[in-house]
Amino acid sequence: MVRTAILSCLVLALAACSRPDAPAAHEAAPLLDEGEVLLDRREDGATLIGRLAPVPEDSDADRVLTLGTSGLDGSLDGASVLDARFVAGGLVVLRADHVLVAHRDGATIELDTQVEGPLSIAGTRVAYVRGEFPELELAIADARSGQARALTQGMAPAWSPALSPDATEIVFVSGVRGSPLLYRVDTRGGAPRALPPSERFPTAPVAPRWTADGTLHFEDERGPATLLIGEGDGVLEGAR
């Protein structure tokens, strides 16, 4: 059910290239053909674009993308991926076989397996969920060191993580109590803390984004939304 909720909003991913919280850039965003998704864009204009592979109607299968790049060497063009994002000094790719790899300095490092998207990035850190669906738990990896570790246990199903800009905290959704709730957890360890209930929460294939002003930007079936995340456990302002 969670996979259906996450992936049923595929149309939102197609609109990601024009959403207000799309990857920042100094140049105009690239024009996309029908069926293409802007996965990420660096400030120098380099882009990661995915073309959606056909999926049977009403299927719960993975939404696989054919990766295309610009401003890079083209070595990853044509790869089948579930997600791809730039990190400091390189990029991370979630392959169609659910293996998460980092590409840095000409080397490819396998970070983790059984990974589900979307990926959330801050610096060299990558937040994601992993496990045998629907037993998905929160995890984090460092693209520079190659180390990955679990952050939660007993929180499945978890989805849609968002790293804080300094990579010290993650906000994510969990349905462990039956109804989905937002939680926050320290990436250095500790138990997740439930945030006050919110009418809206992330469900789209597009990763939520936690900005420096404490705002969580995300998408659900109703479209773009924001939550203002306060200090500690507080949500200061509801979704809009």
10-58 pLDDT tens trace: 333 333 333 334 444 344 556 788 889 999 999 999 999 999 998 877 7
Task: With CA atoms as reference, report the closest residue to 88 among 45, 144, 130.
Answer: 144
Q: What is the CATH number of the domain that holds 107?
A: 2.130.10
237 pLDDT above the threshold of 60: no
Q: Which domain holds residue 86?
A: 2-237
pLDDT at 11: 32
What mean pLDDT is predicted for residues 184-189?
A: 95
Q: Three-state DSSP class for 2? A: helix
CA 38/CA 6 separation, integer angstroms:
18
Residue 56: partners with Cβ closer than 8 Å, 6 or more residues away: none
CB 81 within 8 A of CB 94: yes
Q: Where are the beta strands (DSSP E) in 23-87?
A: 36-41, 47-52, 65-70, 80-87
Which residue, chain included where needed, has tokens 């990601």?
Answer: 16
pLDDT at 234: 53
Q: Which of 10-24, 162-176, 188-202 is the least confident region?
A: 10-24
The tally of domains found in the chain comes to 1
pLDDT at 232: 60
